[in-house]
Amino acid sequence: MRDPVTRLGDILEAIENIERYSNLTEDQFRKDNLTQAWIVRQIQNIGEAVRYLPQEWLAEHPAVPWNDIVGMRDRIVHGYFALRLDVVWDTATKNLPHLKQAVSQLLEFHKTSI
């Protein structure tokens, strides 16, 4: 069983994996099936890690849409063919910087409190 601090690290790692491709344009992203699959997989990993974080930890950052993150993971896993690339692109380019900041803060706080 992975502990919550390790799961926070997993989220940051997935975000950093996505950031490697943030220099693409949306048009390039839409034309590159391999990059799409890579980014979708990383978003799935983020949602999976969030699912197992303690609710009290998530409550420390109520502005982060934690339920939406898990919901996106569920949509990827259970309804892949209904996945919209514009939503994936917006998530990767607009939403992840905020999530990265919140997760970094959680990680810093909980690393020092263990």
Out of 7, 20, 73, 84, the active site residue is 73
Out of 78, 84, 98, 110, the active site residue is 78
> What per-residue confidence (pLDDT) applies to 114?
56
> For 1-114, where are the alpha helices, taking DSSP H only?
4-19, 26-31, 33-51, 55-58, 66-78, 85-90, 96-112
Q: At residue 21, does pLDDT exceed 90? A: no
Q: Is 30 marked active-site?
A: no
pLDDT digits (tens, 9 = 90+) for 97-107: 999 999 999 99
Q: Is 78 marked active-site?
A: yes
pLDDT digits (tens, 9 = 90+) for 59-69: 999 999 999 99
pLDDT digits (tens, 9 = 90+) for 67-80: 999 999 999 999 86
Which are the contacts of 58, defined by CB distance < 8 A and separation ≥ 6? 50, 64, 66
